[in-house]
Amino acid sequence: MNLIDYLPVVPDFPKPGIFFRDISPLLANPIAFQHAIDQMSLLALEFEFSHILGIESRGFIFASALAYRNQKGLALARKPNKLPQASHRQSFGLEYGNDSLELQQAALPADAKVLIIDDVLATGGTIVAAKKLLESAGFRIAGALSLLEIRFLNGLQLLNQHQIEHKTVLTV
């Protein structure tokens, strides 16, 4: 199955000049979604981890399925002001602006070793921010996993600079 067939490009979204990969068709097709999770689960086996961190919002979908499949705990990296309890915060830049991620302070046990999950590796800023967020909270990082890498945005270079091992199912 060629998963890229289920990830169409939407030009000029969320702003002009950005080519957005839409995961909705993949999620709408149960066979394609199952195949994506199967492939991500196989890659996850290459890491040693106790918990998964899903990055808001599309990373939540893949992270929750992987946590279930791999019987691991799940924590969520949320956009600012979405968490009800005390949280850690990390700001970062995107290819189309700036943002922040937050992690609830009580989300993970002290000895957690965390695999970061996002749907797409673009510039790498979001995954680097998630790593910094986890490290500032005292957690160890196992690595990162994405469904898709957009190679021309050079996100893998940034992850390598921050010593983040990364695996991906697809590269375009």
Closest CA to 128 of 88, 158, 166: 158
Specify the number of domains making up the chain: 1
Under-50 pLDDT residues of the chain: none
Query: What count of other Cβ atoms lies within 10 Å of the Cβ of residue 25?
Result: 13
Catalytic site residue 149?
Answer: no
147: domain CATH number? 3.40.50.2020
For the segment 66-96, what is each residue's pLDDT rounded down to a tens digit? 999 999 999 999 988 888 887 888 887 665 6
pTM of the entire structure? Answer: 0.93
Looking at the domain assignment, is residue 27 inside a domain? Answer: no
Looking at the domain assignment, is residue 93 inside a domain? Answer: yes
Tokens of 87: 């949280």
Q: 56, 95, 135, 165: which one is catalytic?
A: 95
How far is it, in rounded angstroms, from Cα 137 to Cα 157? 25
Looking at the domain assignment, is residue 65 inside a domain? Answer: yes
Looking at the domain assignment, is residue 77 inside a domain? Answer: yes
- For 45, the 3-state DSSP assignment is coil
Residue range of the domain that includes 159 = 48-171
Looking at the domain assignment, is residue 122 inside a domain? Answer: yes
Looking at the domain assignment, is residue 138 inside a domain? Answer: yes
Catalytic site residue 46?
Answer: no
Q: 21, 58, 78, 102: which one is catalytic?
A: 58
